[in-house]
Structure 1
C-alpha cells in the first residue's frame, strides 16, 4: 500500500501544473522534520492515505506510523530531487543501491567516498538518521549528469520495512546487492572470458 500511495503521489507531483510546483516547494520545507510537524504538507503526505496506514492507538501515545514516516521521507526527498528538474526523478526498478551504484565513476576514483555515504545510509539506527544520510545521496543523484533517478515508490516501501527489526537486514542486503552488482557482474564476465 505504501508503494501504491507514493506512486500515485509522484505521478501527481510530476504534472506540469502550478499546484505540483507549489507542492514540491512545500515538501522541500518538510525535509528533516517529523511527519506531523509541518501542516502545509499534510494534504500531500496524508491526503487520501488509506486508513490501514494511519494511527490506531490511544490518543495519549500518538506517534506517526511506520507508513507515515516512510511516505513523508520518500516524498520530501523526492521534492528535493525534483528541484530544478522538468522530468520525473522516479524510475521503476532503480533501488537505492542501484542508484548509488550509478554514481560510481568509471575509473573508480569516487568509490571509497561513495561507499562511506552509502554505508552511512544502510547502517542508520532509525529512519530519521537514515533520512539524514539519504538526503546527501539524493543531492548527488540530482547533481549527476545526467541526473540519477530513484524508484521512489520502492524506496518508500523499503523505508517502511526498514523500521521493523526483522525486515531491516533484508532491505540492507538488497540495497547492498544492488550497489555492488556492477563489480559482481564484471567479475562474472571476466570468469566467463567475456571481460
Structure 2
C-alpha cells in the first residue's frame, strides 16, 4: 500500500477512534443524547440530517470531504459511528468498541453462541447472514446487512459482543475502493474477514472466557 493510502486509512481509524473517545468523555446524559442522534442517522446518507453535522463533521479532515455527494471516507466514518451508536444502545457502562475485535472474530463468537449444545458453529444461521454481508457490493446494501449483524451482536447473551469500530471504518472505506495499488481492496478485506472467522478456534475462545471470568 502506498504511503498516501496508508496515511488515509490511519486517518480514518484515528478519526473514528477519537470520536468514540470523545463520546466517552462526555457526561452520561450528554453521551446518551449524542448516541441517540447518531442512531437517527441509520438508513440515511451522510449529510441528510443536519442534527448530525456537528457530531460527525466537527474535526473531520477536509481531505475526507466529498465534492459530488458523500466521499468514500465520509460513508465509512458515518456508517461506523451510527452503527456504533446502535450497538451501544442500552449499555451505559462498557464501551462496545474494542480494538482487535474484528468483524470475523465477532461473528465467530456470535455463531458459537447461537447453535445448540453439541452442534458445530458452522451450522449456525448466522453464517448465511454473514455471507450476504460479505458478498454485498454497493455501500447501501452493505449498510443494510451490517445493521442486521450489529443488532445481533448487541442482543447476544449474556453480554453484547464487542467490535473494533475504527477497524470497521477502514474496512468500509476499502470496500468502496478499487485502486489496484490499494492493499485495502474489497477482495482482500473479504478474505481477511473469512480468515478471522475461521482462525478464531474454540480453544482460543475458551482461553479468552477464562481470562474474563
TM-score under structure 1 length normalisation: 0.86
SS of the aligned residue for 1:125 comes to coil
Matching of residue 172 in structure 1 with residue 190 in structure 2: yes
Using the alignment, how far apart are the partners of 1:92 and 1:109 within structure 2? 24
Question: Could you list the runs of 5+ residues in structure 2 that have no partner in the other structure?
Answer: 1-10, 114-118, 205-213
| Of 138-147 and 13-22, the range deviating more from structure 2 | 13-22
Matches within 5 A, 1:1-195: 1-15=11-25, 16-55=27-66, 57=67, 62-86=68-92, 87-105=94-112, 107-108=119-120, 111-145=123-157, 146-165=159-178, 166=180, 167-182=185-200
The 10-residue stretch of structure 1 (144-153 or 103-112) with the greater mean CA deviation from structure 2? 103-112
**1:73-102: CA deviation from partner (whole Å, max 9, x where unpaired):** 000000000000021000000111111111
**TM-score, normalised relative to structure 2:** 0.79
In the comparison of the two structures, how many residue pairs are matched? 181
Structure 1 gap segments, 5+ residues each: 187-195
The C-alpha deviation readout for 1:6-39, integer Å capped at 9, x for no partner, is: 0001112234432221110001000011001111
The answer as to whether partners of 2:174 and 2:189 remain within 8 angstroms in 1 is yes
Is the contact made by 2:108 and 2:200 (CA closer than 8 Å) also made in structure 1?
yes
Q: Tell me, what secondary structure is at the counterpart of 2:112? A: coil
Q: Distance in 1 between matches of 2:61 and 2:186?
A: 24
